[in-house]
Structure 1
Amino acid sequence: MSTGTLRSFANDEMQPDGIITIESPFGFDETLQRVNAAIDAQGDTVHFGTVDFQANAQAFELTIPSSYMILFGGPAPGGKAMGSSPTLGLDAFCQKSLVWQDAEGTTYLSFNELLALADRQGVSKSLALRVINFRLEKTFNEALQKEVF
Structure 2
Amino acid sequence: MVHLRSSRSVEETCALTETALAAHGLQIFCTVDHSGAAEAAGLVMPPTKLVIFGSPKAGTPLMVAAPTLAIDLPLKALVWEDADGQVWLSYNQPQYLQERHGFPTEMLQNLSGAAAILQKVVDPAV
**Same fold per superposition (TM over 0.5):** yes
**Structure ranking higher in helix proportion:** 2
Which of 96, 117, 120 is 1:139 aligned to?
117
Change (3 A) 1:125 1:21: farther
Corresponding residue number in structure 1 for 2:60? 79
Aligned: 1:22 with 2:4: yes
Whether the aligned pair in 1 keeps the contact of 2:35 and 2:47 (CA below 8 Å) is yes
Corresponding residue number in structure 2 for 1:124? 103
Secondary structure in 2 aligned to 1:64?
coil
Corresponding residue number in structure 2 for 1:108? 88
Partners of 1:74 and 1:85 in 2: how far apart? 16
Whether the aligned pair in 1 keeps the contact of 2:47 and 2:81 (CA below 8 Å) is yes
Partners of 1:85 and 1:50 in 2: how far apart? 26
Between structure 1 and structure 2, the one with the greater Rg is 1
Percent sequence identity over matched residues? Answer: 28
**Amino acid aligned to 1:138:** A
**Amino acid aligned to 1:143:** V
Corresponding residue number in structure 1 for 2:14? 32
Corresponding residue number in structure 2 for 1:68? 49
Aligned: 1:52 with 2:33: yes
Whether the aligned pair in 1 keeps the contact of 2:21 and 2:114 (CA below 8 Å) is no
CA RMSD in angstroms, aligned pairs only: 1.6
Question: How many residues are paired up?
Answer: 125
TM-score by length of 1: 0.77
Q: CA deviation at 1:70?
A: 0.8
Instruction: Select between 109-118 and 67-76 the one with higher mean Cα deviation.
Output: 109-118
Structure 1: give runs of 5+ residues left out of the alignment: 1-18
